[in-house]
Amino acid sequence: MELNASFYPEGVPLGRRNFKPGSPEPIEGSGDRPPSRLLYGILCKHYFCKYFFVYTKNVYMRRQRKPRQFPVSQRELAVYYGISPTLLSMTETGRHGPRNLSSGSLKKKREIFLAHEQTKNSNAYTTSLKKIQDRIAIKCEQLAKKMSGDANYADSTATVLKRRLDEMVRNEQQDSHWMKTLDLLLARLPKTKESANDRIWLENQQVVTEERLQKNGRLAQVKLETQIELEKARARIYRDILKKLSGKKTRSF
C-alpha cells in the first residue's frame, strides 16, 4: 500500500512520514537518517580527524627535525656511551623529566664533542684521511685514463661520420642532377618501337637513382648529423669530467 501525507494524522513531522511503520525511528535533528547510518558518519569523521591530525603532526615534526651533531645514529652513540638509546634520547630532548648520565658516559660525551669541535675547521691530514685520499687519487687517475680514451674515440668517431656525411651530400647532389637528366631524356624520347629499349633503360635508371636518393637523402643526413652531435657531446662530457678529476687530485679534505 502506498503511503501519502493523508495517511498520517495531523501533527506528525514530515521527517517521520518518510519512514514506513516498523522502520527505525530517526533521531531528533538528524533529518531522515536512521541511527545506524548517523553513528557510522560520526565514527568516520572522528577517525578521519584523529589520524589526519597524527599524520600531519608527524610530517611536520620530521620536517622540523634538527640536523645531527655527528654523522652517527643515536643508537650507535648510545653503544659508545654505554647506555640505552632511550636514555640518550630522553637526556637530549628533556622529555619525561630530567635524566642524568653516569660519570663515564658524560666523560665520553664531552671528549667526543671537544674532539669534533677541534677538528671542525682543520685542514690538516690525519693518517686515515691520507690513506683514503691516496686510494681516491689512484682511482681518479684510472678513471681519467679511461675517460681520455673514450673522449678521443668519440672525437675520431665524429670525424669519420662527418666524412661520411659529406660524401652523402655529394652523392645526393649527383643523383639529383642525374634524375633531372633522366626526366629530360624521357620527356624527349619518342614513343616508338625503336626507342622501347631506351625507355626501359632510362626508367630502370630512375628506379636505381631513387633508391640511392632515399639512402643518401635528407632523412638519412639528419640521422647522421644527430649521431655526430651525440659523439661530440660525449667527448665534451668526458673532458669536463676529466677537469673535475684533475681538481680532485689536489683537493684537500
User: What are 119-164's pLDDT values in tens digits?
Assistant: 777 776 678 888 888 888 888 888 888 999 999 999 999 999 999 9
Same domain, 82 and 58: no
Domain count, the chain: 3
User: What is the pTM (predicted TM-score) of this model?
Assistant: 0.52
Same domain, 31 and 80: no
Same domain, 34 and 136: no
User: Which cell numbers in the block locate residue 242?
Assistant: 676529466
pLDDT in tens, 47-78: 555 555 555 555 444 444 556 677 788 888 88
Region of 70 on the Ramachandran plot (φ > 0 left; ψ -120 to 50 alpha; else beta): beta
pLDDT of residue 180: 94
Same domain, 131 and 104: no
Same domain, 141 and 96: no
Same domain, 156 and 193: yes
d(CA 168, CA 155): 20
Same domain, 226 and 143: yes
Query: Residue 96's domain spans which residues?
Result: 74-111
Same domain, 151 and 187: yes
The helix/strand/coil state of 221 is: helix
Q: Predicted confidence band at 38 (pLDDT cuts at 50, 70, 90)?
A: low
Q: Is residue 116 part of a domain?
A: no
